Structure 1
Amino acid sequence: MKSNYIISINQSNMNNSVYILEDRSLLYISGEEAQSFLQNLITNDINKVTEKKSCFASLLTPQGKFLYEFFIIKHKLGYFVDCEKSQTENLFNQLNIYKIRSKIDILNLSNEFVVVSFDKNKFLSLDRAKDEPGNTIKFREDPIFLDPRNSELGARLIINLEKLYLSLKKLGLKDDNIEKYYEKSFNLGINPKNLNDLQNKLFGIEYNLEELNAIDFKKGCYVGQENTARIKLKDKLSKRLLPLKVIDGNIEKDEAIFHNEKEIGKILINDKKYPFGLIKFKEADFKSNLKFKTKKSIIEINLPKWIKI
């Protein structure tokens, strides 16, 4: 029988680690025009976001280039926007530029709220939780949602900082090293951080936004919609952001990647642990385990299972 919050399941299959995502920040958008305001800007359909469902989305340039990514969660009379901390100030300013005379308020709640992530099975032990991307429930007043990009990344809890540790104790969660979360995300082929390195460097659809459930091709217009739809409908997608593994040497940002002396991509994120490159994936040979090269390194390019070529 279910308790108020947790049902009894096999604890041996449950990871009780929690990762406090100190690299994330929260904006809050409210007001009578908040829904229409977001609908006209973001790549996903805000009408799908309810008390029971959250989404992943992006804000692009008018040309369809990547600028920002974030989660949108319904909360009371408005929406939480869960974004990378390094992008918070610029995203806040960008939204205010688009605001013009819209009847909305945009608040930066980064000093008051925090985002944490924990295991999928732990989430599914909670009352009313479902194994559906973006599925959202409440723990008391606080939203918890299954990551809409990939459920293997677990669930995210948005909570007031003052209540954080008491709630984690009640949920039976124990603080763990955030690097484990980054590593899981990277191994799944999903970029965990360094988003500013990608701004204006690739189209949103090249960032795998479709596969990460961040684009709704059936919704109306949004910023960057025309080029995004054109690439999709005319099958012009030839490059993707993919994770890299450095076998030998060192990589540098923006340097070219070669396959049989032919340039097939470039380094966009040169993080030592979690590097990513923009790859002409149709020209790369992923089946023969060949090593790819830059001027100073030998690398592997990993194709996530959720990408079909």
Structure 2
Amino acid sequence: MSQPRIESMTFAWLKSRALIAIGGPDWRDFLQGLITQDVETLAPGEARFGALLTPQGRLLYDLFVVARSNSAGADGCWLDVAAEHRAAMIQRLAMYRLRAKVEIAADETPASVLFSGSPGDGRDPYGDSAWIPAFAGMSGWVRDPRLPALGWRGYGVEPPPGAAIAEESVRDAAKLGLGVPGPADWGSDKAYPIEANFDLLNGIDFRKGCFVGQETTSRMKRRGQVKSRMLPIVFSGPAPEPGAEVLAGELRAGVVTSVGAGRAMALMRLDRAEGAALLVDGRAVTLERPAWFLAALGLEAA
């Protein structure tokens, strides 16, 4: 199977993201008991998606854990977090550190992304495991752990020769086109990670043991029926404002969380939205269930 050409890829600097360097002999044990993702088996060249939750189980900060090592062979990781929350995240981690031998510091290495200009339905457009650009394995690049179609995340790298250069907003539009929510949709201390589809996007390891907010998160998963999920809606005309209600008749079926051209993300009440005629600001909208969403739930497209 042929590999995709770099010319078919788009590169963008992720100015909305910032890094925290985590090191010291206890860094794995420290993070393992805090975040939703397993770090004990994290390997060089790998990234994992996760979050730090409140004790009540609400999504506080999303993050990517990125394995790294220095020239002396000492290991550690970066936490790729929302730039606006980095200072608060460092403060929160320091509060949890206690006597652990852990180093926590801001790191100014720039983050970037390389993604396909035509990601299709959200599954891997080049096969189950073949979406590997020619530079795969080079230092600084890790595959996005959520969906293959989201491409590669880069740290301290330059745009590959031949790749198109775009603003981060182009990446945001592509992500919305895939129906993948982001920080603008879940905010901080507002939504539960399962509502934001973290369980379907490899953002929660339910086998790793304890983490902050685990009890509520595990209970929601065990029940097997999640009432609300973030899903895309499609509309014609001007975009609604974030916060606009999605109505099914006279019932509130959801709320718009972020918007783009002809599409928006909304936190939807599934029991009210499925099969209903939906309106936002008096205009008809259509609820979409992306292919990756259906596949993760073991469902088939209608």
What is the TM-score normalised by the length of structure 1?
Answer: 0.80
Cα distance in 1 between the residues matched to 2:12 and 2:251? 41
Superposition pairs for residues 46-65 of structure 1, below 5 Å? Answer: 46-65=39-58
Which amino acid in 1 is paired with 2:250? E
Correspondence for 1:113: 110
- More deviation, 65-74/299-308: 299-308
Correspondence for 1:231: 220
What is the Cα deviation at residue 176 of structure 1?
A: 2.5
Which amino acid in 1 is paired with 2:163? L
Note if 1:68 corresponds to 2:67.
Answer: no
Alignment partner of 2:278 out of 292, 295, 298: 292
What is the Cα deviation at residue 82 of structure 1?
A: 1.2
What is the Cα deviation at residue 57 of structure 1?
A: 0.6
Residue 145 to residue 297, structure 1, CA distance change in 2 (3 Å)? same
Aligned with 1:232: secondary structure? helix
Cα distance in 1 between the residues matched to 2:110 and 2:3? 31
Kindly indicate whether the alpha-carbon contact (under 8 Å) linking 1:204 and 1:228 is maintained by their aligned counterparts in 2. Answer: yes
Correspondence for 2:194: 205
What is the Cα deviation at residue 243 of structure 1?
A: 2.0
What is the Cα deviation at residue 126 of structure 1?
A: 3.3
Note if 1:181 corresponds to 2:171.
Answer: yes
What is the Cα deviation at residue 277 of structure 1?
A: 1.7
Alignment partner of 1:157 out of 139, 154, 165: 154
Cα distance in 2 between the residues matched to 1:10 and 1:113? 27
Note if 1:263 corresponds to 2:260.
Answer: no
Residue 53 to residue 11, structure 1, CA distance change in 2 (3 Å)? closer
Correspondence for 1:3: none
Cα distance in 1 between the residues matched to 2:63 and 2:288? 24
Kindly indicate whether the alpha-carbon contact (under 8 Å) linking 2:5 and 2:133 is maintained by their aligned counterparts in 1. Answer: no
What is the Cα deviation at residue 193 of structure 1?
A: 4.5
Which amino acid in 1 is paired with 2:220? I
Kindly indicate whether the alpha-carbon contact (under 8 Å) linking 1:123 and 1:146 is maintained by their aligned counterparts in 2. Answer: no
Unmatched tracts of structure 2, length 5 or more: 70-74, 117-123
Percent identity for Structure 1 against Structure 2? 25
Coordinate RMSD, CA, aligned:
2.7
Correspondence for 1:307: 293
Cα distance in 1 between the residues matched to 2:280 and 2:4? 46
Correspondence for 2:231: 242
Cα distance in 1 between the residues matched to 2:61 and 2:98? 20
Cα distance in 2 between the residues matched to 1:95 and 1:81? 11
Kindly indicate whether the alpha-carbon contact (under 8 Å) linking 1:123 and 1:155 is maintained by their aligned counterparts in 2. Answer: no
Unmatched tracts of structure 1, length 5 or more: 1-7, 130-136
Which amino acid in 2 is paired with 1:302? E
Kindly indicate whether the alpha-carbon contact (under 8 Å) linking 1:19 and 1:177 is maintained by their aligned counterparts in 2. Answer: yes
Tell me how many residue pairs correspond in the alignment.
Answer: 278
Superposition pairs for residues 9-158 of structure 1, below 5 Å? Answer: 15-76=8-69, 77-110=75-108, 112-119=109-116, 124-126=132-134, 129=136, 137=137, 139=138, 142-158=139-155
Which amino acid in 2 is paired with 1:49? L
Cα distance in 2 between the residues matched to 1:285 and 1:124? 37
Kindly indicate whether the alpha-carbon contact (under 8 Å) linking 1:249 and 1:298 is maintained by their aligned counterparts in 2. Answer: no
Kindly indicate whether the alpha-carbon contact (under 8 Å) linking 1:20 and 1:117 is maintained by their aligned counterparts in 2. Answer: no
Residue 79 to residue 280, structure 1, CA distance change in 2 (3 Å)? same
Which amino acid in 1 is paired with 2:236? I
Which amino acid in 2 is paired with 1:293? L
- More deviation, 274-283/291-300: 291-300
Which amino acid in 1 is paired with 2:88? N
Residue 270 to residue 73, structure 1, CA distance change in 2 (3 Å)? closer
Q: Deviations over 1:191-214 (max 9, x none)?
A: 24426x522222111110111001
Which amino acid in 2 is paired with 1:229? S
- More deviation, 99-108/254-263: 254-263
